[in-house]
Structure 1
Amino acid sequence: MALVNGLVVVLFWVVSVLLLAGLARRILGVPVGWWRSVVFGLVLVAVSPPILQFVGDRSGLLVGDRLTGSSAAAVLLVVLTIAWTFTLGLAALVILEAILPTGTVPGLVTLVRNWRGQRRRTRRYTAIVGIAVRHGLGRFLRPGRLPADPGLGQTAVALRRALEDGGVAFVKLGQTLSTRRDLLPPVLIDELSKLQSQAEPAPWPQIEKAIADGLGRPISSVFASIEPAPLAAASVGQVHSARLLDGTDVVVKVQRPAARHQIAADLDIIVRLGARLDRTTGWGRSLGVRRLAEGFAASLREELDYTVELENTQAVAAGLQSSDRIVVPRPFPDLSSPTVLVMSRLSAASGGFHDLAADDRRRLATDLLGSVLRQIVVTGVFHADLHPGNVLIGPDGTVGLLDFGAVGRLDRTARSALGLLLYAIERDDPIAAASSLVELLGRPEDLDQRTLEREVGELMVRYRTGAAAAAGVFTALFRLVVRHRFAVPAQVAAAFRAMGALEGTLSLISPGFDLLAAAQAAGGRLMRDAFEPAAVRHTLEGQLASLLPILQRLPQRLNKIVEDTEQGRLTIQVRALADRRDRQFITGLAQQMMLTILAAAAAVGAIILLTSAAGPRLTPTVPLYAFLGYVLLFVAFVLGLRVLVRVFFRASLD
């Protein structure tokens, strides 16, 4: 019997706690976490008996454990007491939700499940912060504004060394930052450009096993031979020359076995560190460090998947014209996987481009620039990282492009706007160039169009005076865009950065290369090709096909409008609040006002009743009007909580 009674008590407690938790979530209308709702119900059930005992003693209904008043009055007082206890608990729950919203603190189950990973993350985070402090960068991690820096050059060197000590992901981060001339000063850019991802080759037995695991079959079943010594070794992977069973010379790009795990752990640290700097430092918010960290992490995760690079290679190759002297490796999809990429091997001239005549080098630079512009403006798929190490000069005078881990993509609208920008530059028309920039990037709210046109014109004049002056033209254009507070989409920024990286490669291939003149000529040719009668007719035919259903119904609609006008039946109907969001806004506003009015009315009524000394009594010590006043005050309190919840938790409610 005792066991049955115990089970009944436990069942009563469980049901009471769950009912109170669900009722609290229902009344507040906020997605409060179930765990804290259950704790709220448990506390409420635990404190209710002593509170009831205290109220009974003070009201005179209880003397010890004996009921002295009427049972009806006792029931009403118990209900009111529980209601007020519940309401005060709701107020505490609202305050807790405002200070620590649901999800801010991980739950107990999550903490227990992830404690090992959290411990490893904490150790790594501590190590990264220690590296920064050791290199004198600790002051940049403190909350507040960017500290005064007496020597930016020294800071740049310290940053490069700290990134090198940080490991693979941090070296990659530095290399990415070295392309952001729109964000960082030249001193930092120059120093970060010295970061190299070259590394000591991994032992051949490890690489041999990684290749076999990636292929899913023995190496001997795919390759007739493979060189254990790598052609190149980076921090993420390394490249080996090989020969297929049919005699085709290929290269095998294989990911280091521990690279993915190490980079994934460090990317988590980089994203968390970026979020912390964005939250606690002014310079972090001004640079958008959190957004940069998240974008870098997404890009590097793609680079870790070699199937993405395979698809990128095929997409760029599909956009090359047969007459181009630009070639890309041919990938072998059947022999590739996320960690292994097999491609045809491109032959390189023994002396590279250094042994070529000046005219040949200029021709190669012109061909490369024209091909990249065509990729950006016409096909929309372009190589986004054409530094000198990714450009190979063949013995037959062709230019080979390597490493398609970073590829940008532009939609038709962006390609058209970029093409018009190049065409305006070719015609020396700053007004059209400024309009193309606005079309490409969208108009900022406070844009001064005349100032933009003048600055674009000044830039065109400054950089058209010769090859030496043309260096840095795309970087200068990007800085102009940022200075006028344009919101640059990620892929458009990738196109600007690709052209900025290409500048250095072209100047290395052909010193003194007139980049602006070549870009004007190539852009003009591309736009003239786009404006040829056949191309224009093809574009118009496509647009006409999309408009054909509308044009077919247009005569009937015009005829009906004319008839209705002649007979005086033409009406224009405007439906107010036709949009569902507008109706929801008005409804929410009306509900908010009604709740506020009801809460205020209940509070006023409660005050009137509580201050009334006359009237009947519920018990010898509890006046009836006072009891009703507390009931109304309870209603006012609940309605007030609802109003506060709708004001302060609107995002959660939406």
Structure 2
Amino acid sequence: MSTPGPAPRTRPESPSVVGIAVRDLARLQSVALTVAKHGFGPLLIRTPLGRRLFKDTPQGDAALRDQAAPVRFARLLAALGPTYIKLGQILSMRKDLLAPEWIAALETLQDDAPRLPFASIREQVEASLGGRLEDLYETFSEQPLGTASIAQTHRARTRDGEEVVVKVQRPGIEATMRADLDLMYLAAQVLEASIDELQFVGVVSVVEEFEKGLLKELDFHQELANLLEFQRNLEPGRRVVVPRPHPELSARTVLTMQFFEGRPIRKLVPKSAEARAIVDEIVRTALKQVFVDGVFHGDPHAGNLLYDDALTVCMIDLGMVGRVTPGQRDDMVTLAIATIASDPTTIARILLRMGTPTQRVNLSELKADITRIREQHLMVASFGEYDSAGFIEAFSRAAGKYRIRLARDMAILAKAAATIEDIVRTLHPEVDIVGIARPFLDDYVQKRLSPRRLLGEFASEASGIGSMLRTVPGQVDQLLHDFETGNIRVRAVTPELDDLPRLVHALGSRIALATFAASTTIATAIAVPESTESTLRLAVAGILAFAAAASWGTLAAWHWLGRGKPLRLAPLVKFFRR
């Protein structure tokens, strides 16, 4: 056990709102300079904010100029810090949004971070758990097991003598990441308002989705709940475990869990009997998580799967999990059956239901692409020739082509499936995946087609139809009455003209605000006294000057960020909310 730490430090005074705003504005300028350095100056200068930060198009670093844009983008995120690295890792799962070369570049981002001094770890644990480290644990190693951008892990022993791992959040990392998220929101709003192509990508929605996942990852209570849920879902008699958490030694920024004496599965000898047994358990567990439990490991790479001498597999790092609803499971089974039966109409319908189309979809072209993808990736002689990663990538690319935005959990599932397939190909490609999957699929199809379930669904649908039919006479009567009294109006839809009232209203508002700003400016000049003896005139002049400055500032922000559109204040409020 380490020696007792120094006396607690006095907490520094909270910075002022002005100080925080100045700091974030400086950070915004630093981010813009880093973006320009990595060769994205031409994109930045297309935004009103970029044109205010730079007079001319900034030139990128000569050493990066010859590299491909995806590589420069990945290096840009790495240079901006842990929040942006996390964003890149999430984007690497969105094959429906990004091209393959961008995905490949983002997959190289590593979640590394410098080692924290043990004094900081001690202070964080004691503040979170409300006690001295020596009273909480029998021993606590000063040497970290691993470091990452959000947390650092250490070995320890509880007062009951159990070996555990303690995951400690980096002090101040949540405040840093929240500040970065506010800048991301502001940048996303500016990009969507300035660059038409990015409106189809939905940059703001990507940032919103990223924020939800990141804030969950920062709250260790969420990972604690995931560990408990996965423990409840473990199948008795199988050689798969998850670390048992210790809720009494856990908090929002500290997580204590059972230590598993094992090693990463990447150390297995490929095609050995041990590798076959481990891969069999991994595939079986993954299928059970998706088709039975409805919750699965979102990042099952080789470093997050350990094994011991008894060939027991341990899943660690359950901060990111995905969830599959019963409806989504039905869709996946229907999709698999339709793919085997070569039914592009059903595949297209399921794809549209699993995603969110952001524009009109040409169904004939979508069906033709589905047929092409199936023939290219699924018409193979053996599993060794089957490339599920290529199939998922082509499928996601088709979704992106037709602007069908996949749900976050579906994107995580696609990434997890490709990761597990890579493990199978690396360690033991001869494993009978179809044989392992058949019992789960047979059981699921039997439950789905069971008379009791079909009868229940039929009764539910019949009840809904009956309820609807009961309201039809009243609705028809109301419709006829509205026709008779002239309360039904027909309006022609004219997209170009429909936007005219909003534009006129915005223009009128800007003219009114500009008139008010000019008036208060002139009034300020008139109200300023010749000497400082007139306190009342000085006060009036000050109020008028403040009103004029606020009006001109609002007009400038409206012009820079709105570009003739209604100004969205939400990102600005979030930017200064701290």
**TM value normalised by structure 1:** 0.62
Matched AA of 2:32: V
Q: Distance in 2 between matches of 1:578 and 1:491?
A: 46
Work out whether 1:132 is the aligned partner of 2:132: no
Write the deviation string for residues 271-305 of structure 1: whole angstroms up to 9, x where unpaired: 21122222212342232222212211221111100
Letter in 2 for 1:164: A
Aligned amino acid, residue 19 of structure 2: R
Pairwise CA distance, 1:257: 0.8
Any idea what the Cα deviations from partners look like across 1:317-343, whole Å, max 9, x if unmatched? 333322443321111222211100111
1:418 aligns with 2:329: no
Take 1:480 and 1:464, find their aligned partners in 2: how far apart are those partners? 25
Give runs of aligned pairs for residues 260-271 of structure 1, distance below 5 A: 260-271=174-185
Question: Tell me, what secondary structure is at the counterpart of 2:88?
Answer: helix
How does 1:173-572 map onto structure 2 within 5 Å? 173-349=87-263, 353-355=267-269, 357-425=271-339, 433-434=347-348, 436-441=350-355, 445-448=361-364, 450-451=367-368, 453-462=370-379, 465-470=382-387, 471-510=389-428, 512=429, 518=433, 520-532=434-446, 536=450, 539-540=453-454, 543=457
Residue pair 1:237, 1:253 contacting (<8 A) in 2 also: yes
Counterpart Cα distance in 2 of 1:135 and 1:385 = 29
Equivalent residues of 1:243, 1:250 under 8 A apart: yes
Report the residue type matching 2:254 in the other structure.
V
The change in CA–CA distance for 1:320 and 1:478 in structure 2 (over 3 A counts) is farther
- SS of 1:355's equivalent? coil
* Partner residue, 2:476: 574
Aligned to 2:45, which of 142, 149, 153? 142
Alignment partner of 1:161 is 2:75: yes
SS in 2 for 1:322: coil
Q: Which moved more, 1:239-248 or 1:494-503?
A: 494-503
Unmatched segments (≥5 aa) in structure 1:
1-112, 561-570, 590-647
More displaced, 439-448 or 402-411? 439-448
Instruction: Report SS of the residue matched to 1:230.
Output: strand
C-alpha contact (below 8 Å) 1:347/1:395 kept by paired residues: no
Are the equivalent residues in 1 in contact too, given 2:141–2:155 (CA < 8 A)? yes
The 1:153/1:498 distance shift into structure 2, 3 A limit, reads: farther
Q: How far, CA to CA, are the matches of 1:327 and 1:422 in structure 2?
A: 29
* Compared CA separation, residues 439 and 291, structure 1 to 2 (3 A): closer
Cα-to-partner distance string for 1:534-592 (whole Å, 9 max, x where unaligned)? 982563575588689899x99xxx9x9xxxxxxxxxx8872335999xx9x96999xxx
Equivalent position amino acid for 1:140 in 2: L
Aligned 8 A contact 2:118 2:142 in 1: yes
Secondary structure, aligned partner of 1:224: strand
Percent of residue pairs identical: 27
Distance in 2 of aligned mates of 1:373 and 1:477? 21
Are the structure 2 counterparts of residues 244 and 469 from structure 1 closer, same or farther at C-alpha, using a change threshold of 3 Å?
same
Secondary structure of 1:347's aligned partner: coil
- The answer to whether the Cα contact below 8 Å between 1:271 and 1:297 also exists between their aligned partners in 2 is no
| Counterpart amino acid of residue 136 in structure 1 | G
Deviation of the 1:395 alpha carbon: 2.3
What amino acid is the match of 2:110? Q
Q: Tell me: CA distance 1:302–1:464, structure 2 relative to 1, closer, same or farther (3 Å).
A: farther
1:625-644 equivalent positions in 2, closer than 5 A: none
Deviation string, structure 1 residues 231-289 (Cα, Å, up to 9, x no partner): 10112111111111112111111101121111111111122112222221234223222
Q: Deviations over 1:627-647 (max 9, x none)?
A: xxxxxxxxxxxxxxxxxxxxx
Question: Cα 1:151–1:118, aligned 2, differ >3 Å: closer, same or farther?
Answer: closer
Instruction: Give the number of the structure with larger relative contact order, counting CA–CA contacts within 8 Å between residues 6 or more apart.
Output: 2
Task: Find the residue that maps to 2:252 and give its secondary structure.
Answer: coil
Q: Structure 1 residues 462, 540: closer, same or farther in 2, change over 3 A?
A: closer
8 Å CA contact 2:338–2:344 kept in 1: the answer is yes
2:348/2:370 contact within 8 Å kept: yes
Q: Given that residues 329 and 402 in structure 1 are in contact (C-alpha distance below 8 angstroms), is that contact kept between their aligned partners in structure 2?
A: yes
Distance 1:238 1:507, change over 3 A: farther
- Select the residue among 5, 16, 20 that pairs with 1:117: 20
Superposed displacement of residue 491, structure 1: 2.5
Bigger mean CA offset, 311-320 vs 403-412: 311-320
- The 1-side partners of 2:318 and 2:286 are apart by 13
Structure 2: stretches of 5+ with no match in the other structure: 1-15, 48-56, 492-564, 569-578
Q: Distance in 1 between matches of 2:446 and 2:334?
A: 15
Q: 1: distance between equivalents of 2:214 and 2:418?
A: 20
Question: Structure 2 vs 1, CA of residues 203 and 420 (structure 1 numbering), >3 Å: closer, same or farther?
Answer: same
Max Rg structure: 1
Aligned to 2:549: none
Q: After the TM superposition, which residues 43-58 of structure 1 pair with which residues of structure 2 at under 5 Å, given as runs?
A: none
Contact between 2:265 and 2:305, CA under 8 Å: does it hold in 1?
no
* Number of residue pairs matched by the alignment: 460
TM-score (norm 2): 0.69
Alpha-carbon contact 2:361-2:402 (below 8 Å) kept: no
CA distance in 2, matches of 1:138, 1:162: 12
Amino acid at match of 2:248: D
